[in-house]
């Protein structure tokens, strides 16, 4: 499970696939509870890097990085122009993070890469591991990898800024299997999405909390601790984001779900990676299936307000994507800075 040590290299990589213009995608803000009108803004709207990061409301998504599991690639999309700015093939990719210096960190099956946000070229590649599912860059420059296959125990491995394993920070949790994403918490622990379970673990190899969710199948995908102590959890095949009281182990709010309004149009199949915006809204991916050719199925990018009302949706162009399972909305973010969702909302972090 994983190699004896990663191999790090830096290069510009090959040229990414050129930008693609699609012709059928729709940005739609007229969903139930929405404010009406289209999601587009006028031509004077600034680029994400020019928008003040102090703004609370960023509007509906315009520029996004997505993990397209169906096509096995990461793409930067301009939703207003319905174009792909760049596409980068990346076998085994699942997790993405803004790691600063205008770079995107992305997990790969053998380790991780750093991509130039401007054009998608590979600026750094770390290999030598196996079954990597998730990653988090730390403010000190270290990188944590989450490792685990469908049947194996979950392993967390920290690499220093030179990608050398950190002594004592290579731990395995035998009772928790089938990792999707892990996320840091303000308490220094980690939340692991694993089959029907969300588990909280630490570097002492302890499972300090866990909750099993009902349903078959589920695939708990991502969990975040919110400032009020509750948890936001994407439920996979439950097609929802759940707000959970971790003390009572009680579901307080269900966002989305298979019977939500407009379910026939959305085709809620599998809610995977999500982001919490500064205004408290949730932008979530609605994955449809493995492999190419699923871009015409369902609506794969959705925005809900904190109360669970669908306020925006993007009908993907099958010429651009197949099946999405991860997203970062770039609008309003300073990509020169490291960002993390350790406190719920994706924001710059220094610790």
Does a structural domain hold residue 5? no
Total domain count, the chain: 1
Does a structural domain hold residue 39? no
Average pLDDT value for the chain = 87
The proportion of the chain whose per-residue pLDDT surpasses 90, expressed as a percent, equals 80
Quick: pLDDT tens for 47-102.
333 333 333 344 699 999 999 999 999 999 999 999 999 999 999 999 999 999 99
3-state secondary structure of 299: coil
How far is 157 from 159, CA to CA, in rounded Å? Answer: 7
Does a structural domain hold residue 288? yes
Q: What is the pTM of this model?
A: 0.86
Does a structural domain hold residue 19? no
Decide if 176 contacts 201 (C-beta within 8 A): yes
Burial class of residue 53, CB neighbours in 10 A (0-12, 13-18, 19+): middle
Does a structural domain hold residue 41? no
Which residues span the domain enclosing 226?
A: 46-348
Q: Looking at residue 82, which CATH number applies to its domain?
A: 2.130.10.10
Quick: pLDDT tens for 90-145.
999 999 999 999 999 999 999 999 999 999 999 999 999 999 999 999 999 999 99
User: What number is the average pLDDT over the span 332-345?
Assistant: 98
Does a structural domain hold residue 179? yes
3-state secondary structure of 330: coil
Q: Which tokens sit at 80?
A: 């207003």
CB atoms within 10 A of CB 200: 20
Quick: pLDDT tens for 239-294.
999 999 999 999 999 999 999 999 999 999 999 999 999 999 999 999 999 999 99
Query: What residues form DSSP beta bridges with 197?
Result: 194, 212
CA distances from 327 to 40, 134, 140, 217, 282 (A): 19, 14, 24, 23, 11
CA 20 to chain centre: 23
Decide if 137 contacts 147 (C-beta within 8 A): no
């Amino acid at each position: 499970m994983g190699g004896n040590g990663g191999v790090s290299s830096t290069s510009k990589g090959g040229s990414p696939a050129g930008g693609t213009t699609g012709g059928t995608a729709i940005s739609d803000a007229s969903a139930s509870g929405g404010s009406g009108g289209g999601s587009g803004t006028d031509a004077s709207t600034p680029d994400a890097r020019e928008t003040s990061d102090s703004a609370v409301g960023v509007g509906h998504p315009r520029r996004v990085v997505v993990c397209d599991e169906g096509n096995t690639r990461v793409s930067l999309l301009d939703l207003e122009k319905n174009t792909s700015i760049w596409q980068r093939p990346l076998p085994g990719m699942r997790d993405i993070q803004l790691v600063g210096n205008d770079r995107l960190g992305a997990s790969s099956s053998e380790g991780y890469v750093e991509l130039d946000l401007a054009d998608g070229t590979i600026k750094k590649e770390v290999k030598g591991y196996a079954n990597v599912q998730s990653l988090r860059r730390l403010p000190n420059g270290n990188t944590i990898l989450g490792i685990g296959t469908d049947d194996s125990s979950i392993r967390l491995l920290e690499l220093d800024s030179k990608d050398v394993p950190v002594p004592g920070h290579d731990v395995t949790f035998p009772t928790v299997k089938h990792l999707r994403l892990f996320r840091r918490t303000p308490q220094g622990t980690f939340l692991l999405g694993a089959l029907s379970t969300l588990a909280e673990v630490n570097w002492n190899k302890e499972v300090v909390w866990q909750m099993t969710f009902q349903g078959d199948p589920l695939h708990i995908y991502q969990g975040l601790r919110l400032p009020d102590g509750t948890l936001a959890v994407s439920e996979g095949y439950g097609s929802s984001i759940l707000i959970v009281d971790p003390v009572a182990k009680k579901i307080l709010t269900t966002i989305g779900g298979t019977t939500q309004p407009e379910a026939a149009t959305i085709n809620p199949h599998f809610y995977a990676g999500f982001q919490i915006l500064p205004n408290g809204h949730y932008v979530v991916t609605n994955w449809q299936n493995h492999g190419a050719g699923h871009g015409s199925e369902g609506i794969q990018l959705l925005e809900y307000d904190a109360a669970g009302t669908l306020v925006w949706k993007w009908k993907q162009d099958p010429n651009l994507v197949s099946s999405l399972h991860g997203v970062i909305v770039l609008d309003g973010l300073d990509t020169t800075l490291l960002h993390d969702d350790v406190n719920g909302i994706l924001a710059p972090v220094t610790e």
